[in-house]
Amino acid sequence: MGAQILDGKEVAKKVRAQVRREAKIFTEQTGQTPCLAVIIVGEDPASQIYVKNKKLACEKCGFLSREYALPETTTQQELIDLIRTLNSDAQVNGILVQQPLPKHMNVSQINEVIDPDKDVDAFHPVNTGKIMIGNAQLLPCTPAGILEMLDAYEIPIEGRECVVVGRSNLVGKPVAMLMLSRNATVTLCHSRTRDLAEITRRADILIVAIGRARMITADMIKPGAVVVDVGVNRTEAGIFGDVDFVPASEKASYITPVPGGVGRMTIAMLMRNTLAAAKIQAQKNKKE
């Protein structure tokens, strides 16, 4: 019997519906409609699709969206100046700088300029630190989407062995922290991990975000494990995840498809963060 599919499309739809209901109440109470500002630098085709999808998601949730499309030649300082303008714009609740940025820009520096209360990607060091101590109000969208999906299918986390393959600041590290905060026992693996297969075979929950097509094969998966595939690898043969899906789905109890899995959750959680950011700012304005 094959694994049950973790349907990100369906769960994301429910998250968006909930966000839309809450946003309507928020607007009635405050007179403000949540607003997301997205900045894109250059003309990367994949980035343009992501920005378009974010705009559509805003419409579905009843949010305002602003798009700032800057040429590839934009300087680091020009981008910083725009972010600072948006930081001080009371109408803007969330700021997202679409990555990848051109090579002449320092991504870490850009992330640090965004007001932590408007940082809907949760990349600012303040928000990263809050995740570490378990006190975050804004969570990175992909890791938060993974937990949301596990919860939607009532998959228990506490006490289970979780192996994360990939240590990026975007997914690997924060999802390890979030699983730890939910009382999983977490092992974080990477490109220099020895005997990777031996470790992945211990996992009750295996989360893969390594960026290599079909790297995790069925023999690396414990029978009955929950497999969450974050990878999106565009190859000449099509789009593949980091997990060899067909044989893996015969071994796992639950598995995410690519596409249609975690990617759908990422934008839904971005909408949730934008609303959360609007609430944080409204609360601060009350106190002032």
Which are the catalytic amino acids?
54, 98, 121
DSSP structure string for 49-70: HHHHHHHHHHHHHT-EEEEEEE
Contacts of 249 (CB under 8 A, 6+ apart): 2, 3, 5, 255
Gap between the Cα atoms of 174 and 150, Å rounded: 16
**How crowded is residue 20: how many other Cβ atoms within 10 Å of its Cβ?**
15
> Dihedrals φ, ψ of 188, to 5°?
-105, 115
Helix axes 141-152, 172-181, angle to 10 degrees: 40
DSSP code, position 160: -
DSSP code, position 5: E
**How crowded is residue 147: how many other Cβ atoms within 10 Å of its Cβ?**
20
- CB contact at 8 A, 208 and 258: no
Gap between the Cα atoms of 97 and 68, Å rounded: 9
- Cα–Cα distances (Å) from 127 to 19, 121, 124, 139, in that order, read 21, 9, 5, 8
